[in-house]
Amino acid sequence: MMFTKQRTIKKPISLDGIGLHTGNNTRITFRPAPPDSGVRFIRTDLPGKPSVIADIEHVSDISRGTTLSNGEAKVYTVEHVLAAISGLQIDNLDIELESNEPPVGDGSALPFVERILKAGIETQEADRHYLEIDTTLSYSDPERSVDIVVTPSETLRITFMIDYKNPALGTQYTTLIDLESEFVEEFAPARTFCFLSEVEMLKDKGLIKGGGLGNAVVIYDSDLGQIEVDRIRRVLNLKEKAFVGKTGIINDIPLRFPNEPVRHKALDLLGDLFLIGVPIKGHILAARSGHKANVALVKKIRTLYEKKKLASKYQKAHSEPFLDIDGIMKIMPHRYPFLLIDRILDLEPEKRVVAIKNVTINEPFFQGHFPGHPIMPGVMIIEAMAQAGGILLLKAIPEPEKKLVYFLSIDKVKFRRPVKPGDTLRLELEMLFLRRNTCRMGGKGYVGDMLAAEAELTAMVIDR
Domain of 198, CATH number, reads 3.30.1700.10
Q: What is the pLDDT of residue 318?
A: 44
pLDDT below 50 — which residues of the chain?
317-319
Residue 156: domain span: 132-308
Same domain, 195 and 299: yes
Return phi, psi of residue 368, to 5°.
Answer: -125, 5
Q: What is the pLDDT of residue 443?
A: 95
Q: What is the pLDDT of residue 202?
A: 84
Catalytic residue among 283, 318, 369, 373: 369
* CA angle, residues 121, 175, 131, in degrees to nearest 5: 55
Largest CA distance in the chain: 94
Sequence-distant (6+) residues with CB within 8 A of 102 are 17, 19, 26, 28, 75, 77, 78, 80, 81, 112
- The Cα-based distances of 326 to 344, 350, 391, 430 in angstroms read 11, 22, 13, 24
Burial 41-65 (b: 16+ CB within 10 A, else e): bbbeebeeeebbbbbbebbeebebb
Same domain, 283 and 322: no
The domain boundary, picked from 252, 280, 308, lies at 308
Same domain, 303 and 158: yes
Same domain, 173 and 226: yes
The domain boundary, picked from 126, 156, 175, lies at 126
Same domain, 285 and 257: yes
The domain boundary, picked from 74, 94, 126, lies at 126
Q: What is the pLDDT of residues 344-368, one digit of tens each?
A: 988 887 889 999 999 999 999 998 9
CATH number at residue 337: 3.10.129.10
Catalytic residue among 21, 80, 283, 291: 291
Same domain, 42 and 112: yes
Sequence-distant (6+) residues with CB within 8 A of 168 are 219, 220, 247, 248, 249
The backbone region for 249, taken as left when phi is positive above 0, alpha when psi lies in -120 to 50, beta otherwise, is beta
SS3 content of the chain, % helix, strand, coil (to 5): 25, 35, 40
Same domain, 263 and 343: no
- Check if 334 is active-site: no
Q: What is the pLDDT of residue 315?
A: 58
CATH number at residue 105: 3.30.230.20
Same domain, 443 and 319: yes
Same domain, 16 and 55: yes
The number of domains in the chain is 3
Same domain, 149 and 291: yes
Same domain, 238 and 172: yes
pTM: 0.73
Residue type, 430: E
Same domain, 151 and 284: yes
